[in-house]
C-alpha cells in the first residue's frame, strides 16, 4: 500500500477523532464546573443534527444550523434548570443515574418526534461526489469542515477561558467552587453556562459530522462512550489532554481495520476505556492526586 | 516499659510538598501521648501513615517490634491499632447499637456462606457480639440511645459513639484524631475522663489535638510538630516552657 | 415477630389466590409474564444487594444475566454426537456422570447434549469466575469510574454474544430442553406446566430472598452497610473492604446468572437483547424506585414493572418510562417509593 492509502486512514481517523475531542471537551467543561459526568453528552450531538434536519425544511442550511445550535443550547440550559439545580442532596450516584435517565428520555423522545430512520444533512460545500486531492488521497471537503470547525472551536474556547472574565470565572469554579463563590462568582450561573456551552459545541459538532456519518435517534450513546474514553485518557477535565487522546483514539480506530475484523472496531474504544480505568484512571496527562473525583 | 510504637525517620511528600519530614519518636506502652502543632503541621498525615491510609516515602513504623509500613488499613486494625477520624465517620445508615456491633467485627469469623445459611456458629457469634455491644453501650452511658439512628443524635454524643466503637475492637493502641474538635467545655471534660478510663484499662493512646487544656491535662508526653518536622518531645510541663514551641504558636516576641 | 408471620401468611395467601383467580377466569397465560418477571426480579435483587447495601453501582448486571443464560443455552444445545461417535473418552465419561444425555431436538433428530443440571452448575461457576476476574481490577474504582467500567463490561459482553457464531449472533439460541428438577417437576415453557413453573419460580425467589436477608442481618451484612457509608471507617475497624466488595460483586453476579439460566430454560431460548445496556439500566431503575436498600420494595416494584413492561402496557414508551423513573426517583425521592412500607428488623 502506498502513502496515499495510509494518509486516507490517517485523515479518517483524524476526522472521527476531532468529533470525539469536541464531545470530550463538552464532558470536561461540565465536569469542571460541576463534578458531574454528563452521560447525556452524546445526545447533544444527535439533537443538533436532528433539529437541523427539521429546520432545513424551511430555511437554508447555514441558518438551520444556527437555529439548531441555539435550540440545543436551550435544551442544555433547561436540563440544568430542571434537573441539576433542583437537586436537594446531590451525590455522585444520583447524578450518574439522572444523566443516564436523561440520556434515555432524550433518545426515546427523539425516536417519537423524528423516527427510527437514519437521517443525513447536505454537504456544506459540494456534494457526495466532490473530492479534494491532497497528497494523492481523495477526501471529501466535509472532512476539512470537520477538522476546521473543531480547530476553530478549540481556539475560541482557549481564548475564552484564558482572556475573558467569564472564562476565568469558570476556571476558578473548576479549581475551587467554595472560594469562587466567596469571590462573588455566581456558581449556579456558571454551571448553567457550562451546560449551554457544552450543548452548543456538541450540537455544532453533530451537524458538521452528519453528512459523513449520518445520524440516528440512538447514535448519541456510542459517541458519548468514545468521547468519555477520550476525556478519561486525556485526564478528566483536561482539555489539552483530550485533544491528544482524541487524535490517538481516532487514528487507532481507523487503522484497526488493517488487523481486526470490522465488527470489532466499535469495541476498541470500550476496551481502551476499560484498560485506562483499570491502569491509570487519571489518564495520560492527569496527575494521580487528581484521581479523586470532585464533589458536586 | 516497652516501646509499643516506634516512628523512625518517617517522611511523606505530596508532589512538591513535604508533609512529614524525617519524624521520629516512640510511644511507650500504657501512656497517653499527644501530638500537637499548628494547622498544616502534618499531624493527620502522620496518623494516616500509621494507620495505613498513606504509604510512606521513607522511614519505618514499628509496632511491637514488627514493621507495619506496608500494611493495608484493615491489616493494621487487625494488629489492634484502631483509629478515629477528624470528621466523624459513623455509619449513618445504622443505629448506635449496630455501629458498636460493627466495631466488634473482628471478634467474629463467620463468612458469607455461614451468614447466608445461618450456620450455628454464626448465630452463636452474633449473640456474643450483641452481648458485648450492650456491655460497651453500658460503659459509655449509651444504652438509652441504643436503637437510635446515629445521625439523629447530637454531635457531642456522636463523638463518644465513635470513641466507643473504636474501643470495642479492644485496641492495644488507640489513635484519636482531634477527638475534642467541636465539643464544648463540659463535653471536653467528659471526654478527658473517658480517655483516662480507657487508658487505665491498659490501652495506649496517641492523640492529635488542638485543645491545649485537654492535652496538658491528660497527656503523659507530648510531641510537637511544625511544617512536618518534630520540634520538641517531652512531658507537658517542659513543653509549655519550651521557647521553640511558644514561638510557633505565639510568635517570636513571646518566646 | 408476630407482625412478620402475619405478613408472610398474607403474602402466601395472595400468591396462591392470584394463581387460582387467573386459572378460574381463563387467563392463566398471564402467569407466563409473571414468571418471567419473577426471574428478572431475582436478577434485580442481586443488583439490589450490590447497589443498595454495598453501595457499588453496576451498569453491567444484564451482562451476568446473559453469561448465565448463554452458557446454559450453549451447553444444552451443542450437539456432542460427533464426539460420541468417535468414542471420545471425555464425552463417555460425561454420559456416565449423567452430565450429558441423549434427547430429541426440535426436528426430531437424536442429539447428545449436556444435561440442564450440569449446564446450570457450570454456568454458575463460570459466571462466578468471570465476575471474580472482572471484579478485582474494576472494584478499585469509585463513583463515575466504576459506573463507566461496569458499563464497558456490559457493552463488551453484549458485543461478544451479538457477534459470535456459537452464540447465534443476532438470533440467539433456541430449542433448549426442559430443566427437569426432582419429582416430576420441570422448568419449561410448556403451557401444561405453567402453574407448576409459577410455584417453582416463587419458591426460588423465596429462597434467594431468605438468603439475602440472612446475609444482610449478619456480621457480614453490617460490614457491607458500613462499606457503603464510609469505606475508610470500615477499613479502620478491620474490615477487608476490597475483598468484601469483590465477594458481593461475585454473589450479585451469581444471582444474576441463576436467574439467567432458569429464565432461559423457561423461555426455551435466549437472545442478545438480554445483555443489552438498556436492560442493565432498567434493573438500576427498579432498584432505585424500590428503595435502593430495600429487598421487599425492589421485589414488588420489580415484579410489577417488569410485568407491565412484558405485557406491553408501556408500548413504545417502554424505555422512556424507565428513564423517567430513574430521573424522577433521583430528583424527588432517592429513598424510593417503597420506604413507607419498609419492613425494618428491629433489634429487641
The pLDDT tens digits for A109-146 are 999 899 888 888 888 777 777 777 777 777 888 888 88
pLDDT of amino acid C214: 92
Cα torsion angle, B55, B56, B57, B61, sign:
negative
Q: Give the separation between CA A229 and CA C332, rounded to whole angstroms.
A: 31
pLDDT of amino acid C279: 92
CB C66 within 8 A of CB C159: no
Does the pLDDT value for residue A291 go beyond 60? no
Residue-averaged pLDDT of chain C: 87
Better pLDDT: A72 or A90: A72
- Smallest CA–CA separation between A287 and chain B, in Å? 10
Would you state the cell numbers that stand for residue A286, as one nine-digit string?
Answer: 492527569
Residue-averaged pLDDT of chain B: 89
- 3-class DSSP assignment, residue C270: strand
The confidence band for B254, taking pLDDT boundaries of 50, 70 and 90, is low
Q: Which residues of B131-162 are buried (b: 16+ CB within 10 A; e: fewer)?
A: ebbbebbebbebeebbeebbeebeebbbbbbb
At A37-56, the pLDDT tens digits run 888 999 999 999 999 999 98
Q: Give the separation between CA A206 and CA C280, rounded to whole angstroms.
A: 27
Distances in whole angstroms, Cα of residue C244 to Cα of each of B112, C57, C132, C228, C231: 9, 15, 12, 11, 11
pLDDT of amino acid A1: 58
- Percent of chain A having pLDDT more than 70? 94
Average pLDDT of span C181-187: 80
Query: Burial of C10 by CB count in 10 Å (0-12 exposed, 13-18 middle, 19+ buried)?
Result: exposed
From the list A192, A142, A221, A157, the residue with the least C-alpha distance to A25 is: A157
The single-letter DSSP state of residue A215 is: B
Q: Give the separation between CA B142 and CA C4, rounded to whole angstroms.
A: 29
Give me the half-sphere count of Cα atoms (radius 13 Å) on the Cβ side of residue B255: 11
At A12-33, the pLDDT tens digits run 888 899 999 999 999 999 888 8
- Could you identify the residue written with the cell 498513606? B54
Strands (E), chain C: 100-104, 110-114, 173-174, 179-180, 186-187, 269-270
Would you state the cell numbers that stand for residue A202, as one nine-digit string?
Answer: 456538541
Better pLDDT: A176 or B54: B54
At B86-140, the pLDDT tens digits run 888 999 889 999 999 999 999 888 889 989 998 999 899 999 999 999 999 999 9
Average pLDDT of span C325-329: 85
Would you state the cell numbers that stand for residue A222, as one nine-digit string?
Answer: 456510542
**For testing contact with chain C, the best of B81, B105, B171, B176 (most C CBs within 10 A):** B105
Q: Give the separation between CA A56 and CA B141, rounded to whole angstroms.
A: 75
**For testing contact with chain C, the best of B44, B108, B112 (most C CBs within 10 A):** B112
CB B229 within 8 A of CB B23: yes
- If you compute the radius of gyration of chain C from its CA atoms, what whole number of angstroms results? 21
pLDDT of amino acid C91: 83
pLDDT of amino acid B31: 92
Q: Which of residues 199-218 of C touch B (CB under 8 A)?
A: 211-212, 214-215, 218
**Cβ of residue A93 closer than 8 Å to a chain B Cβ:** no
pLDDT of amino acid A289: 47
Q: Give the separation between CA C255 and CA C248, rounded to whole angstroms.
A: 10
At C103-127, the pLDDT tens digits run 887 788 888 888 889 999 999 999 9
Would you state the cell numbers that stand for residue C164, as one nine-digit string?
Answer: 459470535
Cα torsion angle, B57, B60, B64, B68, sign:
positive
Question: What totals of helices (H) and strands (E) does chain A contain, helices first?
Answer: 11, 2
CA angle C194-C67-C228, nearest 5°? 100
pLDDT of amino acid A195: 92
Say how many residues make up chain B: 255
**Cβ of residue A27 closer than 8 Å to a chain C Cβ:** no
Backbone dihedral angles phi then psi of residue B184, each to the nearest 5 degrees: -85, 180
Cα torsion angle, C216, C222, C225, C227, sign:
negative
Residues C15, C19, C22, C25, Cα dihedral to 10°: -120
Would you state the cell numbers that stand for residue B135, as one nine-digit string?
Answer: 456491655
From the list B218, B209, B255, the residue with the least C-alpha distance to B236 is: B218
Cα torsion angle, A194, A199, A200, A205, sign:
positive
CA angle A83-A88-A89, nearest 5°? 110
- 3-class DSSP assignment, residue B33: strand
- pTM score, whole prediction: 0.89
Q: Give the separation between CA B226 and CA A223, rounded to whole angstroms.
A: 51
Helix axes A239-256, A265-279, angle to 10 degrees: 140
Residue-averaged pLDDT of chain A: 84
**Cβ of residue B14 closer than 8 Å to a chain A Cβ:** yes
Say how many residues make up chain C: 348
Q: Give the separation between CA C236 and CA C212, rounded to whole angstroms.
A: 26
Q: Which of residues 223-252 of A touch B (CB under 8 A)?
A: none
At C65-87, the pLDDT tens digits run 999 999 999 999 888 888 888 88
Does the pLDDT value for residue C341 go beyond 60? no
Query: Burial of A293 by CB count in 10 Å (0-12 exposed, 13-18 middle, 19+ buried)?
Result: middle
Q: Give the separation between CA A84 and CA C155, rounded to whole angstroms.
A: 27
- Percent of chain C having pLDDT more than 90? 40
**Cβ of residue A296 closer than 8 Å to a chain C Cβ:** no
Hey, are the CB atoms on C284 and A97 less than 8 Å from each other? yes
Average pLDDT of span C310-322: 86
**Cβ of residue A289 closer than 8 Å to a chain B Cβ:** yes
pLDDT of amino acid B93: 86
- Could you identify the residue written with the cell 484502631? B82
Hey, are the CB atoms on C330 and A101 less than 8 Å from each other? yes
- Could you identify the residue written with the cell 480507657? B198
- Smallest CA–CA separation between B199 and chain A, in Å? 37
pLDDT of amino acid B253: 56
Query: Burial of C217 by CB count in 10 Å (0-12 exposed, 13-18 middle, 19+ buried)?
Result: middle
At A169-200, the pLDDT tens digits run 888 877 777 788 788 788 788 889 999 999 99
At C229-270, the pLDDT tens digits run 899 999 999 999 999 999 999 999 999 999 999 999 999 899
pLDDT of amino acid C129: 96
The ipTM estimated for the assembled molecules is 0.89
| Chain A partners within 8 Å of C322 (Cβ) | 104
From the list C266, C272, C245, the residue with the least C-alpha distance to C67 is: C272
Identify the closest residue of chain A to B14 by CA–CA distance. A289
pLDDT of amino acid C342: 40
Query: Burial of A84 by CB count in 10 Å (0-12 exposed, 13-18 middle, 19+ buried)?
Result: buried
| Chain A partners within 8 Å of C135 (Cβ) | none
From the list B83, B88, B218, B84, the residue with the least C-alpha distance to B156 is: B88
| Chain A partners within 8 Å of C288 (Cβ) | 97
The confidence band for B166, taking pLDDT boundaries of 50, 70 and 90, is very high
From the list A33, A36, A18, the residue with the least C-alpha distance to A242 is: A18
Q: Give the separation between CA C24 and CA A189, rounded to whole angstroms.
A: 62
Most confident of B24-38, B233-247, C77-91: B24-38
The confidence band for A89, taking pLDDT boundaries of 50, 70 and 90, is low
From the list B93, B68, B70, B96, the residue with the least C-alpha distance to B80 is: B68
Listed by start position, the domains of chain C span 34-280
pLDDT of amino acid B248: 81
Q: Give the separation between CA A42 and CA A224, rounded to whole angstroms.
A: 4
Amino acid at each position: 500500500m502506498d502513502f496515499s492509502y495510509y494518509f486516507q486512514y490517517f485523515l479518517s481517523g483524524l476526522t472521527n477523532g476531532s468529533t470525539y475531542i469536541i464531545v470530550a471537551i463538552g464532558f470536561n467543561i461540565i465536569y469542571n464546573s460541576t463534578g458531574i459526568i454528563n452521560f447525556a453528552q452524546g445526545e447533544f450531538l444527535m439533537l443538533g443534527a436532528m433539529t437541523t434536519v427539521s429546520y432545513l425544511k424551511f430555511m437554508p442550511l447555514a441558518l438551520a444550523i444556527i437555529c439548531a445550535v441555539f435550540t440545543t443550547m436551550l435544551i442544555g440550559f433547561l436540563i440544568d434548570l430542571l434537573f441539576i439545580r433542583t437537586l436537594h442532596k446531590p451525590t455522585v450516584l444520583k447524578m450518574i443515574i439522572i444523566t443516564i435517565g436523561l440520556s434515555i428520555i432524550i433518545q426515546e423522545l427523539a425516536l417519537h418526534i423524528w423516527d427510527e430512520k437514519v437521517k443525513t444533512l447536505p454537504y456544506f460545500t459540494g456534494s457526495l461526489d466532490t473530492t479534494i486531492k491532497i497528497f494523492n488521497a481523495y477526501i471529501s471537503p466535509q472532512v476539512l469542515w470537520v477538522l476546521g470547525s473543531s480547530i476553530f472551536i478549540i481556539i475560541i474556547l482557549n481564548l475564552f477561558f484564558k482572556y475573558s472574565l467569564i472564562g476565568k470565572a469558570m476556571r476558578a469554579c473548576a479549581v475551587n467552587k467554595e472560594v469562587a463563590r466567596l469571590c462573588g462568582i455566581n456558581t449556579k450561573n456558571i454551571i448553567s453556562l457550562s451546560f449551554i456551552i457544552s450543548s452548543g459545541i456538541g450540537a455544532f459538532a453533530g451537524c458538521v459530522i452528519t453528512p459523513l456519518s449520518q445520524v440516528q435517534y440512538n447514535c448519541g450513546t456510542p459517541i458519548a462512550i468514545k468521547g468519555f474514553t477520550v476525556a478519561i485518557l486525556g485526564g478528566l477535565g483536561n482539555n489539552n489532554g483530550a485533544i491528544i487522546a482524541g487524535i490517538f483514539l481516532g487514528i487507532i480506530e481507523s487503522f484497526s481495520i488493517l488487523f481486526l475484523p470490522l465488527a470489532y472496531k466499535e469495541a476498541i474504544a470500550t476496551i481502551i476505556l476499560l484498560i485506562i480505568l483499570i491502569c491509570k484512571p487519571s489518564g495520560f496527562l492527569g496527575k494521580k492526586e487528581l484521581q479523586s473525583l470532585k464533589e458536586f | 516499659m516497652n516501646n509499643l510504637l516506634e516512628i523512625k525517620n518517617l517522611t511523606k511528600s505530596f508532589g512538591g510538598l513535604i508533609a512529614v519530614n524525617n519524624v521520629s519518636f516512640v510511644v511507650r506502652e500504657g501512656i497517653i501521648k499527644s501530638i500537637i502543632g499548628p494547622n498544616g503541621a502534618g499531624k493527620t498525615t502522620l496518623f494516616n501513615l500509621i494507620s495505613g491510609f498513606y504509604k510512606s516515602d521513607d522511614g519505618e513504623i514499628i509496632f511491637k517490634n514488627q514493621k507495619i509500613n506496608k500494611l493495608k488499613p484493615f491489616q493494621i486494625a487487625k494488629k489492634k491499632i484502631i483509629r478515629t477520624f477528624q470528621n466523624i465517620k459513623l455509619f449513618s445508615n445504622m443505629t448506635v447499637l449496630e455501629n458498636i456491633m460493627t466495631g466488634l467485627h473482628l471478634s467474629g469469623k463467620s463468612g458469607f456462606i455461614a451468614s447466608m445459611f445461618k450456620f450455628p456458629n454464626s448465630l452463636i457469634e452474633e449473640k456474643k457480639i450483641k452481648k458485648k455491644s450492650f456491655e460497651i453501650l453500658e460503659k459509655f452511658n449509651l444504652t438509652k440511645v441504643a436503637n437510635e439512628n446515629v445521625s439523629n443524635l447530637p454531635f457531642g454524643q456522636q463523638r463518644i459513639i465513635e470513641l466507643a466503637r473504636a474501643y470495642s475492637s479492644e485496641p492495644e493502641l488507640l489513635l484519636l484524631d482531634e477527638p475534642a474538635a467541636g465539643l464544648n467545655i463540659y463535653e471536653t471534660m467528659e471526654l478527658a475522663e473517658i480517655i483516662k478510663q480507657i487508658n487505665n484499662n491498659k490501652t495506649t493512646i496517641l492523640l492529635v489535638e488542638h485543645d491545649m487544656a485537654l492535652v496538658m491535662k491528660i497527656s503523659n508526653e507530648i510531641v510537637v510538630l511544625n511544617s512536618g518536622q518534630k520540634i520538641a518531645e517531652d512531658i507537658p510541663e517542659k513543653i509549655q516552657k519550651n521557647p521553640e514551641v511558644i514561638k510557633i504558636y505565639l510568635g517570636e516576641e513571646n518566646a | 415477630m408476630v407482625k412478620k408471620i402475619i405478613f408472610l401468611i398474607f403474602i402466601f395467601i395472595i400468591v396462591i389466590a392470584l394463581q387460582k383467580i387467573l386459572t378460574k377466569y381463563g387467563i392463566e397465560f398471564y402467569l407466563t409474564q409473571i414468571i418471567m418477571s419473577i426471574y428478572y426480579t431475582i436478577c434485580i435483587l442481586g443488583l439490589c444487594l450490590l447497589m443498595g447495601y454495598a453501595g457499588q453501582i453496576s451498569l453491567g448486571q444484564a451482562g451476568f444475566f446473559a453469561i448465565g443464560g448463554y452458557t446454559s443455552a450453549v451447553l444444552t444445545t451443542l450437539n456432542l454426537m460427533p464426539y460420541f461417535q468417535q468414542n471420545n473418552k471425555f464425552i463417555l465419561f460425561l454420559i456416565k456422570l449423567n452430565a450429558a444425555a441423549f434427547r430429541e431436538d426440535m426436528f426430531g433428530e437424536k442429539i447428545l447434549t449436556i444435561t440442564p443440571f450440569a449446564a446450570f452448575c457450570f454456568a454458575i461457576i463460570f459466571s462466578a469466575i468471570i465476575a471474580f476476574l472482572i471484579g478485582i481490577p474494576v472494584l478499585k474504582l469509585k463513583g463515575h469510574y466504576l459506573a463507566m467500567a461496569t458499563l464497558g463490561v456490559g457493552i463488551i459482553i453484549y458485543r461478544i454474544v451479538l457477534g459470535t457464531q456459537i452464540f447465534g449472533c443476532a438470533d440467539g439460541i433456541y430449542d433448549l430442553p426442559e430443566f427437569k428438577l426432582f419429582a416430576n417437576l420441570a422448568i419449561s415453557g410448556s403451557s401444561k406446566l405453567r402453574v407448576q413453573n409459577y410455584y417453582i419460580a416463587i419458591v426460588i425467589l423465596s429462597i434467594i430472598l431468605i438468603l439475602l436477608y440472612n446475609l444482610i442481618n449478619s456480621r457480614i451484612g453490617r460490614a457491607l452497610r458500613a462499606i457503603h457509608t464510609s469505606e475508610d471507617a470500615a477499613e479502620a475497624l478491620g474490615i477487608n473492604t476490597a475483598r468484601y466488595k469483590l465477594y458481593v460483586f461475585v454473589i450479585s453476579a451469581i444471582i444474576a446468572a441463576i436467574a439467567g439460566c432458569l429464565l432461559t430454560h423457561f423461555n426455551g431460548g435466549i437472545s442478545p437483547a438480554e445483555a443489552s445496556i438498556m436492560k442493565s439500566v432498567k434493573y438500576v431503575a427498579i432498584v432505585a424506585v424500590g428503595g435502593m436498600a430495600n429487598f421487599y420494595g425492589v421485589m414488588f416494584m420489580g415484579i410489577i414493572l417488569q410485568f407491565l413492561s412484558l405485557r406491553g402496557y408501556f408500548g413504545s414508551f417502554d424505555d422512556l418510562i424507565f428513564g423517567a423513573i430513574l430521573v424522577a426517583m433521583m430528583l424527588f425521592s432517592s429513598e424510593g417509593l417503597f420506604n413507607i412500607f419498609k419492613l425494618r428488623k428491629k433489634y429487641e
